[in-house]
Amino acid sequence: MKFIDEAVIEVIAGDGGDGCRAFRREKYVPYGGPSGGDGGRGGSVIVTATERAHSLMDFKYKRKYAARRGEHGMGHDRYGKGAEDLVLHVPVGTTIYDHETGELLHDLVTDGQSCVVAQGGQGGFGNIHFASPTNQAPQEHEPGEPGEQRVIRLSLRLLADVGLLGLPNAGKSTLLSVVSAARPRIADYPFTTLTPNLGVVSIDSERAFVMADIPGLIEGAHEGRGLGHQFLKHLERCRLLLHLVEYPLPDSGADPVADVASLEQELALFDEGLFALPRLVVMTKTDLCADLAELDAWRAAFAPREFTTISAVAAEGLRDLLDRVWRRLHPPM
């Protein structure tokens, strides 16, 4: 299934049913007395978060969602039936905005959390409500209230404790596949990851956290260049970012320190809150390094940033990395 994390839809709540003007036929009672019942309530449009949904794909092609109106009131004191609410299911982590004003309406972060995005109209009173000692044959009755109607924007931001950040082909997907049961697409060329991936990392029976891998970023990502810019928002809920940087082969001309600084600038330009998240620099593919002293030199070059090294393929440094992550997520009291 294609990953869709943005959708704009129109939601229309049902109108309330009209109140009824009716009279009983009773001897010696003007017009038989009022007997018009109230109209039923219109259905509301409700959005509910569920862990069974993983994308906003269902809302890509259908853009209008309308609840039914309430039934009209009837004679013999019969009230119109209220309409059922229309419930739309979205993934956990979906935020809802008013599309016209940009106002944040709701943020659904737990399974089963619901909100009303369009309120159904109230049913109108029938003429039984307008009877009085001086008005025993009331003609008055009310129409149902119109239901709310609005255009909303659904925006999905994945819920993860740790986010993987880095240039294309930095080893993010490989790391996720090794430390979790996730199976992202992996290949030896840039932009292998086209959609975010989530994995649950279990260190032991008592320690686990959720890790997210997003497509690789390039310089100018905040302006829309490359693939990763549209997924940067998925890192905003993370509590820790792992900034992966590939070990540079000799004579490759690569400058990992400059690459890290460049992507840090992209984070700052995209969102100051995202830039403020704690980060750990992780040099990957260090099984290609023949001299361990060289890794110490890189540690000094990245100072004062926290720095560690791993090889996901050779399973080197992974346990130390996971322990570091856990300590950052759960600092001692």
| Percent of residues, the chain, with pLDDT higher than 90 | 57
Task: Quickly list H helices, the chain.
Answer: 58-61, 172-179, 256-270, 272-275, 292-302, 318-329
Tokens of 332: 């001692």
Q: Which domains does the chain have, with CATH numbers?
A: 6-156 (2.70.210.12), 162-329 (3.40.50.300)
Q: What is the pLDDT of residues 111-165, one digit of tens each?
A: 999 999 999 999 999 999 999 988 888 999 999 999 999 999 999 988 889 999 8
Q: What is the pLDDT of residues 256-286, one digit of tens each?
A: 999 899 888 888 887 888 889 999 999 999 9
* pLDDT band (50, 70, 90) for residue 30: low
Tokens of 33: 């007395």
Buried b / exposed e along 12-32 (16+ C-beta atoms within 10 A): bbbbbbbbbbbbeeeeeeebe
pLDDT surpasses 70 at 194 = no
